[in-house]
């Protein structure tokens, strides 16, 4: 089946540094990728929608200059958390829409801890 | 009013019983509905998708959709302890101009199956 590979699975970084999270679609082309954030015991909150070759669309309240999204190819989308702070510590998950079957597949998630 | 609402639970059922999980949504133009299972610390995995009114069965799982009532449910027959997880209802509000196929998640219902 369609697989989205997400890396890294865990990352610890110092406050003020930047962290890049990658999501690759392994056996299909993902024209659209969604980025979610999940805090403990809460649901997935959509942060932004990225479309290959165009600017990402951010949800209300999400700082686009802090969460940089790049979707330069049909198989790779990246999320960069810039100038990370402890409140950015969360579980970040990407998801790709499968055009043929109209379903969605998720990456395995990245646990970000900012110290 | 939240776009997708679920009872947070926990819903506790004995092994072998039927677990019934419910979800309501606010956007009447929504077209696609999904149930995901999420274990602690893991990303969601798709259980069922449903697009038309009525029931859809897959093994021990049955999804039910009633668009007039804006209600979708998931029944799990012969519940097993391994079914203990958080179940997320997700809706694609394609009726909106700005929906762009994104999924909106409910807060999830925690299911506990007692041995």
CA–chain centroid gap for A19, Å, is 11
Could you give the 3-state DSSP secondary structure of residue B81?
helix
Facing A103 at nearest CB: one of B41, B46, B88: B46
Instruction: Tell me B34's DSSP state.
Output: E
pLDDT in tens, A11-60: 999 999 999 999 999 988 888 899 999 998 888 999 999 988 888 999 99
Task: List, for residues B91-102, the tens digit of each pLDDT value.
Answer: 987 654 444 678
Nearest to A57 among B88, B100, B107 (CB): B100
Q: Which residues pair with A68 in a beta bridge?
A: A80
Contact B34 A103 (CB under 8 A): yes
pLDDT digits (tens, 9 = 90+) for A51-89: 888 889 999 999 999 999 998 888 999 999 999 999 999
pLDDT at A2: 78
* CB contact B93 to A (< 8 Å): no
Q: How many CB atoms lie within 10 A of CB B20?
A: 15
In terms of Cβ atoms closer than 10 Å to its own Cβ (0-12, 13-18, 19+), residue B63 is buried
Name the CA dihedral angle for A105, B98, B29, A1, rounded to a multiple of 10 degrees.
Answer: -10
Q: Which of A46, A91, A103 sits opposite B49 (nearest CB)?
A: A103
The stretch B18-37 carries a mean pLDDT of 92
The residue of chain B nearest to residue A33, with distances taken between CA atoms, is: B102
């Amino acid at each position: 089946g369609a697989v989205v590979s997400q890396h890294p699975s865990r990352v610890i970084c110092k406050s003020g540094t930047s962290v890049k999270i990658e999501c690759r679609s392994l056996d299909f082309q993902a024209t659209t990728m969604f980025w979610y954030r999940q805090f403990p015991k809460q649901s997935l909150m959509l942060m932004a929608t990225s479309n290959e070759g165009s600017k990402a669309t951010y949800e209300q309240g999400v700082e686009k200059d802090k969460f940089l999204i790049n979707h330069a190819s049909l198989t790779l989308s990246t999320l960069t958390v810039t100038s990370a702070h402890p409140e950015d510590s969360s579980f970040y998950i990407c998801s790709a829409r499968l055009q043929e079957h109209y379903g969605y597949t998720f990456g395995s998630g990245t646990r970000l801890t900012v110290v | 009013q939240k776009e997708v609402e679920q009872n947070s639970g926990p819903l506790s059922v004995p092994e072998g019983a039927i677990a019934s999980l419910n979800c309501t949504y606010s956007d009447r133009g929504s077209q696609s509905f999904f149930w995901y299972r999420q274990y602690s610390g893991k990303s969601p995995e798709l259980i069922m998708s449903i697009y038309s009114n009525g029931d859809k069965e897959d093994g021990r799982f049955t999804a039910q959709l009633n668009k007039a009532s804006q209600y979708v449910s998931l029944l799990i027959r012969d519940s097993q302890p391994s079914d203990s997880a958080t179940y997320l209802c997700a809706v694609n509000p394609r009726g909106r101009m700005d929906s762009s196929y994104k999924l909106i998640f409910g807060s999830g219902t925690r299911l506990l199956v007692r041995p």
